[in-house]
A and B are shown apart, each in its own frame.
Chain A
Amino acid sequence: MNKVIAASAIGRKFGNTRALENVSFDISESEIFGFIGPDGAGKTTLFRIITTLLLPDEGKMTIMGLDCRTGYRQLRKNIGYMPGRFSLYPDLSVEENLNFYATVFGTTVKENYDLIYDIYSHIEPFKKRLAGKLSGGMKQKLALSCALIHKPGLLVLDEPTTGVDAVSRSEFWVMLKKLRQHNITIVVSTPYMDEAMKCDRVALIQRGRLLSINQPEKIREEFGRKLFSVTAPEKFKLINALRSFPGIRTAYPFGDSVHVTFKEDEFDDSIYKHLDRMGVINARITETKAGIEDSFLELMQKE
């Protein structure tokens, strides 16, 4: 399969801060590739390098066969970029924004209408409305339409679903999946672990370094330990009590429960006694399957 992006040993510094360090990855055609990591991990810096807005200090990156340092003129014609912040003109209408981007790329809305139809049809009834007056979900659909209007080969989405309601978020991912049939490669970053599962492959990024690149399922399997979910009515008390138990290896809050691993991978009654002594009542421990978040926390722990 063709490599759309081939990055090797990319590094970028801002002053004394290393934003990216020795980052290498390959992305294949029509793949949905996700970057998962906390705020400040270097996702946006990496995306700015991919979109030719920044140059790397070290390493080499080839995008669609062009070097990111010398081929930026060509690349800008063929990349669709949706920055993390809403960056369309709030004082132009939906229609005007779309026409603007079409013109800037030397095309027309008509020409690529079939590509954006699935997305744009949701907001077309509001085409006269100013973009600044749209809801979060509609803004996101408009931004995606604008990023796609020139039929780019590579679509770069920086946290596209942040600040968007749950329904719009899942709709959005359905749209992304559909784009695959147009041979568009998608690079996306997200802080949401459930969205990571929808990518073909994900890279976990932390403090400017890639911890792991794999299919989401494989990353879950990489966890390699038995994971238990502990629930109790008083979660805060519970987590403190768990962390004070000598046999506990890790204990992280996870939704309503606490995910724990044991040093011996198994547990006995002593944990219940300990929790009792600490005043935690009705604690229940069940084995569970590790999610991406668990793997991520595990990898961070190893760092």
Chain B
Amino acid sequence: MRTILYLIRKEFLQIFRDKFIGKAIFGVPIVQMLILVPAVTFEIRNVNLCVIDMDMSAESAKLINRLEGSTFFRIKFTTFSENEANQLLHRNKCDMVLQIPLGFAKNLGAGKPGRIMASVNAINAVSAQLSWAYLNGVIRDHNMNIAAENPGLFSGSAFSQTDVSNRYWYNEKLNYKYFMLPGILGILVTAIAFLLAGLNLVREKEIGTIEQINVTPIKKYQFITAKMVPFFLIGLVDLALGLLLGKLFFRIPFEGSIALLFMCSAIFMISVLGLALFISTFSSTQQQFMFVAFFFMIVFILMSGIFTPVESMPGWAQKFNLINPLTYLMRINRMVMLKGSAFGDISREICSMIVIAIAFTFIAVRRYRKTA
């Protein structure tokens, strides 16, 4: 025990003696929280519109006004040339072209449907779909108004529509920050526990210190524990720091138990520490480790459900996610923070993470050898 404590002290000494890492350990969470949380958002604002109003009627002007009045759209260009509009779309000057053909008002006046056409830049499919949905919303509103202003023009069907009123549970205002922040917290602890711990292990090999250490009576478990514990603790401190920043800057709701959140992150970190140890056993330079670890990080993060729901991934991806510890952590973080889930609600996720943590660590420790 004395040896382990001494070794842990030595690791801390080395971590904080490194002027860059010592600061980065606390700088990274601050930067991640303050930059990523507000920046990574699916909310669409300021969709640049180009309008071709061939009709030039009061009706078309009303529709354009309504679009301009919404927070989503900004009318950047108006033109009469379809060619010019397409050029603008092509050159990325606008995101959407809205064409109101001649006879739009006339058709409406005659009780026929008015036709308009929208061309959307779908380089980014997500934002294209969202702006399309917003446009639909504005036009639906517009339709209701026409019907209300012109009773008798339409048959009663327009009024007897089913009116759906909805409420978004757990995140009423659909605030993306509330959705992203628990996820970013997960990435944060991954970066500390996975990358830093792994690099530290491989560094011993790279600078050759491991060779002399191996010819000492130091036990395998002592060495590994001493390498893991510092990053485990730093990960927990960073998690606390991240939560604090979330509370201070984004007023993130915290419905559940903080202790539960920390416990889950702790289990999670053991599993990624095990994986880091495993990768380090077959890399001999920091560069090799970085390359492999980067691959795992990207796969784990993108498949974890931080951006896109796991449920809509293909079957094989969902199967893979059974061994992706980050998937469980994402779910747990969000459920505990936003929904206030208790231990009983997330016991399945916790058990899965424990199994993964034990498995990863077991494989890694078995592969680790005190030989040249």
Mark A residues whose CB is within 8 Å of B. Answer: 48, 51-55, 73, 76-77, 79, 81-83, 85-92, 96, 100-101, 103-106, 146-147
Having A81-B215, A91-B14, one finds 15 other A-B pairs with CB under 8 Å, namely A51-B215, A54-B371, A54-B372, A73-B217, A76-B217, A82-B212, A83-B211, A83-B212, A91-B18, A103-B2, A103-B3, A103-B7, A104-B3, A106-B3, A147-B212
Do residues A90 and B214 form an inter-chain contact, with CB atoms below 8 A?
Answer: no
CB <8 Å contact, B212 and A103: no
Asked if B6 CB lies within 8 Å of chain A CBs, one says yes
Q: How far is the CB of A29 from chain B (nearest CB, A)?
A: 20
Instruction: For A86, list chain B residues within 8 Å (CB).
Output: 208
Are B215 and A52 neighbours in the complex by a CB distance under 8 Å? Answer: yes
18 contacts between A and B (CB under 8 A): A48-B372, A53-B215, A53-B371, A76-B215, A79-B215, A81-B211, A83-B211, A88-B209, A89-B209, A90-B207, A92-B17, A100-B6, A100-B10, A103-B3, A104-B216, A104-B217, A105-B217, A106-B3
Q: Which of B13, B17, B214, B215 has the most CB of A within 10 A?
A: B215
B interface, by DSSP: helix, strand, loop or mixed? helix
Judge if B302 is at the interface, Cβ distance under 8 Å. Answer: no
Cα-based distance from A77 to B218 in the complex (angstroms): 9
Known A83-B212, A91-B17, A91-B18: A106·B207 in contact at CB below 8 Å: no
Are the C-beta atoms of B212 and A87 separated by less than 8 Å? yes
Q: Which residue of B lies closest to A78 (CB)?
A: B217
How far in angstroms is the closest Cβ of chain B from A136? 15
For window 11-62 of B, CB contacts with A under 8 Å fall at 13-14, 17-18
CB-defined contacts of B214 to chain A, threshold 8 Å: 53
Is the beta-carbon distance between B212 and A88 smaller than 8 angstroms? yes
Alpha-carbon gap, A182 to B80, bound state (A): 100
Tell me if A106 and B371 are in contact (CB < 8 A).
no
Contact B209 A103 (CB under 8 A): no
Q: Is B213 an interface residue (CB 8 A)?
A: yes
* Nearest CB on B from A96, distance (A): 7
Q: Which residues of A contact B208 (CB under 8 A)?
A: 83, 85-87
Closest 5 interchain pairs by CB?
A53-B372, A87-B208, A81-B215, A85-B208, A87-B212
Cα(A92)–Cα(B209), bound, Å:
12
CB distance from A187 to the nearest CB of B (A): 13
B196 to chain A, nearest CB (A): 15
C-alpha gap A79/B215 in the complex (Å) = 7
Query: Number of residues in B with C-beta < 8 Å to the partner?
Result: 23
Which of chain B's residues 200-258 have a Cβ closer than 8 Å to chain A? Answer: 207-218
* Most chain A beta-carbon contacts within 10 A, residue among B17, B18, B210: B17
Q: How far is the CA of A184 from the CA of B18 in the complex (A)?
A: 38
Known A103-B6, A104-B3: A96·B209 in contact at CB below 8 Å: no
Residues of A within 8 A of B6 (CB): 100, 103
Alpha-carbon distance between A90 and B210 when the two chains are bound, in angstroms: 13
- Is the beta-carbon distance between B211 and A87 smaller than 8 angstroms? yes
CA distance A52 to B77 in the complex (A): 78
B329-357 interface mask toward A, CB cutoff 8 Å, 1 = contact, 0 = none? 00000000000000000000000000000
Whole-angstrom CA separation of A48 from B215 in the bound complex: 9
Question: Cα distance A214–B213 when bound, in Å?
Answer: 33
- Residues of A within 8 Å of B14, CB to CB, are 89, 91-92
Chain A's nearest CB lies how many Å from the CB of B9?
10
B216 touches A53 (CB 8 A): no
Cβ contact within 8 Å between B216 and A105: yes
Q: Whose C-beta in chain B lies nearest to the C-beta of A152?
A: B215
CB proximity to A under 8 Å, residues B178-215: 207-215
What residues of B have a CB within 8 angstroms of the CB of A88 in the complex? Answer: 209, 212
Assembled-state Cα–Cα distance A83/B207 (Å): 12
Measured CB to CB, the closest approach of chain B to A134, in angstroms, equals: 15
Alpha-carbon distance between A46 and B10 when the two chains are bound, in angstroms: 32
Give CA–CA (A54, B215) in the complex, Å. 11
B10-A106 in contact (CB<8A) = no
Shortest Cβ distance from residue A24 to the other chain B in the assembled complex, whole angstroms: 22
List which B143-196 residues lie within 8 A (CB) of chain A: none
CB distance from B136 to the nearest CB of A (A): 61
- A52 proximity list for chain B (CB < 8 A): 215
Contact call B217/A87, Cβ cutoff below 8 A: no
Contacting residues, chain B, for A91 (C-beta < 8 A):
14, 17-18
When C-beta atoms are compared, the residue in chain B nearest to A100 turns out to be: B10
What is the chain A residue whose CB lies nearest that of B371? A53
Bound complex: CA A92 to CA B2 (Å): 19
**In the complex, chain A residues whose CB is within 8 Å of the CB of B218:** 104
* Chain A nearest Cβ from B208, distance in angstroms: 4
Within the complex, the shortest CB–CB distance from B2 to chain A, in Å, comes to: 8
> In the complex, what distance in Å separates the CA atom of A51 from the CA atom of B211?
10
B212 CB contacts on chain A under 8 angstroms: 81-83, 87-88, 146-147
Bound together, the chains give a CA A257 to CA B44 distance in angstroms of: 84
Asked if B10 and A92 make an inter-chain contact with CB atoms under 8 angstroms apart, the answer reads: yes
Instruction: Write out the residue numbers on chain B whose beta carbons fall within 8 Å of the beta carbon of A48.
Output: 372
